[in-house]
């Protein structure tokens, strides 16, 4: 089968279109004929092997342990292992492979059945493939870490990004009043996602709003988290989703102490793939509450271009890979 693989860490040029053996499912796995995959910030961090912490988390200190990247996929079950009970050949599924060895940028991949869920019935495979990593991260940031309640005011920073574009819509679906912050030229798309208000990153209300927020979801973390404390209500919560390793460590180490002093909560997201959350998103998508914002679709051979576009902030929402 065809796949995009790498034997060393580096820029998109390290990725090559290669022929590799088609995988065979273990007893608890399904073999998926991948129809589409998507690209997220995690993909280019793994491709480059930066920040270094990512090498410790996923193995491969000197060279990649998983030569075929690609976490979020959608496709059709082609075969099932002997112990699989939830799926059968022909089922349309989507999955996050980041805890089962990646491998999504390929014509076929195997995944444990517990990492897989039926695709939303109203999406193309390209659109469905954009959901598993970014959608689940947004859901877990808002619902689990942020403990969002209906009627609360939320600020989503990076609202035109992969996680952010889902966060805006999920927050609306959970009954929040949503402000999205993004680059000025992407504002119209964020408005179309249903944000009640859109501001650009330079707007003074980003850190000093007329009315403070109950929850801030920060997918970019290009400013110090402490800058946002005045923008939170007493008892409000800031959730760091993205950002550099040093920003994350600062928030993890200093956040609880500083937050307590100022009666605010500073938290960090560690997203985990969960079948139940894929099912929760499927329900929101089928109810028309969430629609993936797909910018462009690239063929498998152009995965390097897709990653380049994402790294250079040329993407609004998500990019898909058609396989
Ligand atoms: N903690 C976790 O478990 C977890 C889970 C998923 C993702 N993440 C992290 O979350 C981050 C976002 O992921 P993603 O896939 O949504 O990435 P993405 O699609 O590339 O979106 C990133 C967003 O950040 C904004 N941004 C980036 N650099 C910026 C800067 N210097 N100044 C202002 N805004 C900036 C961009 O704004 P514009 O589009 O407006 O230009 C873009 O909307 C990444 O760092 C990723 O590694 C963490």
- Is residue 249 predicted with pLDDT exceeding 90? no
Distance in Å, CA 77 to ligand 1 centroid: 31
Distance in Å, CA 175 to ligand 1 centroid: 24
Distance in Å, CA 268 to ligand 1 centroid: 14
Name the closest-CA residue to atom 8, ligand 1: 242
- Which pLDDT score is estimated for 115? 98
Q: Where are the domains of the chain?
A: 2-131+293-322, 134-268
Q: For every residue of 219-254, which 3-state class applies, written as one string?
A: CCCCCCHHHHHHHEEEEEEEEECCCCHHHHHHHHHH
Q: Do domains 2-131+293-322 and 134-268 have the same CATH topology?
A: no
User: Does 269 contact ligand 1 (Cβ within 6 A)?
Assistant: yes
Write down the number of H helices and E strands in the chain: 9, 15
Tell me the per-residue pLDDT of 250-295, one tens digit each, with 9 for 90 and over. Answer: 999 999 999 999 999 999 999 999 999 999 999 999 999 999 999 9
Distance in Å, CA 242 to ligand 1 centroid: 6
Tell me the per-residue pLDDT of 141-179, one tens digit each, with 9 for 90 and over. Answer: 999 999 999 999 999 999 999 999 999 999 999 999 999
Cβ neighbours around 190 below 10 Å, total: 28
- Which pLDDT score is estimated for 156? 98
**What is the fold of 2-131+293-322?**
Quinone Oxidoreductase; Chain A, domain 1 (3.90.180)
Ramachandran area for residue 313 (φ above 0: left; ψ -120 to 50: alpha; else beta) = left
Name the closest-CA residue to atom 31, ligand 1: 222
Distance in Å, CA 281 to ligand 1 centroid: 20
Distance in Å, CA 33 to ligand 1 centroid: 29
Q: Which atom belonging to ligand 1 lies closest to the Cα atom of 133?
A: 6
Q: At what angle do helices 275-286 and 162-173 cross, to 10 degrees?
A: 70
The rounded distance, in Å, linking the Cα atoms of 142 and 214 is 11
Per DSSP, the three-state class of 191 is helix
User: Does 270 contact ligand 1 (Cβ within 6 A)?
Assistant: yes
Output the average pLDDT for the chain. 96
- Is residue 94 predicted with pLDDT exceeding 80? yes
Mutating to test ligand 1, I would choose from 70, 163, 266 the residue with most ligand atoms within 8 A of its C-beta, which is 163
User: Does 160 contact ligand 1 (Cβ within 6 A)?
Assistant: yes
- Is residue 219 predicted with pLDDT exceeding 90? yes
- Which pLDDT score is estimated for 273? 97
Mutating to test ligand 1, I would choose from 98, 144, 219, 270 the residue with most ligand atoms within 8 A of its C-beta, which is 219
Pairing status of strand 153-157 against strand 108-112: unpaired
Tell me the per-residue pLDDT of 64-88, one tens digit each, with 9 for 90 and over. Answer: 999 999 999 999 999 999 999 999 9
User: Does 135 contact ligand 1 (Cβ within 6 A)?
Assistant: no
The structure tokens listed for 227 are 């800058």
- Is residue 59 predicted with pLDDT exceeding 80? no
CATH architecture of 134-268: 3-Layer(aba) Sandwich (3.40)
The rounded distance, in Å, linking the Cα atoms of 284 and 175 is 13
Question: Per residue in 223-253, is it b (16+ CB within 10 Å) or e — as a string?
Answer: eebbebbebbeeebbbbbbbbeeebbebbee
């Amino acid at each position: 089968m065809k796949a995009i693989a790498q034997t060393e860490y580096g820029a998109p040029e390290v990725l090559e279109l290669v022929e590799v053996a088609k995988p065979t499912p273990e007893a608890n796995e399904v073999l998926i004929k991948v129809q589409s995959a998507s690209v997220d910030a995690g993909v280019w961090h793994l491709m480059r092997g930066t920040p270094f912490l990512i090498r410790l988390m996923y193995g491969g200190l000197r060279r990649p342990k998983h030569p075929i990247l690609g976490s979020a996929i959608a496709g059709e079950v082609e075969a099932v292992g002997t112990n699989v009970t939830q799926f059968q050949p022909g089922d349309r599924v989507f999955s996050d492979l980041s805890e089962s060895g990646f491998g999504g940028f390929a014509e076929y991949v195997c995944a444990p059945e517990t990492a897989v869920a039926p695709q939303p019935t109203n999406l193309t495979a390209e659109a469905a493939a954009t959901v598993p990593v970014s959608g689940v991260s947004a859901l877990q940031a808002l619902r689990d870490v942020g403990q969002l309640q209906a009627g609360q005011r939320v600020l989503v920073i990076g609202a035109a990004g992969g996680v952010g574009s889902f966060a805006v819509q999920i927050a609306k679906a959970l009954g929040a009043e949503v402000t999205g912050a993004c680059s000025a030229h992407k504002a119209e798309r964020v408005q179309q996602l249903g944000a009640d208000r859109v501001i650009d990153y330079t707007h003074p209300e980003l850190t000093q709003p007329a009315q403070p927020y109950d929850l801030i979801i920060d997918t970019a973390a290009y400013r110090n988290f402490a800058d946002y404390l005045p923008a939170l209500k007493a008892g409000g919560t800031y959730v760091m989703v993205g950002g550099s390793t040093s920003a994350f460590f600062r928030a993890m180490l200093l956040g609880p102490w500083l937050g307590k002093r100022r009666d605010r909560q500073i938290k960090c997201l560690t997203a985990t793939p969960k079948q139940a959350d894929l099912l929760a998103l499927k329900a929101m998508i089928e109810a028309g509450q969430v629609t993936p914002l797909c910018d462009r679709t690239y063929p498998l051979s152009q995965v390097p271009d897709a990653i380049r576009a994402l790294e250079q902030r040329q993407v609004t929402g998500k990019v898909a890979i058609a396989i």
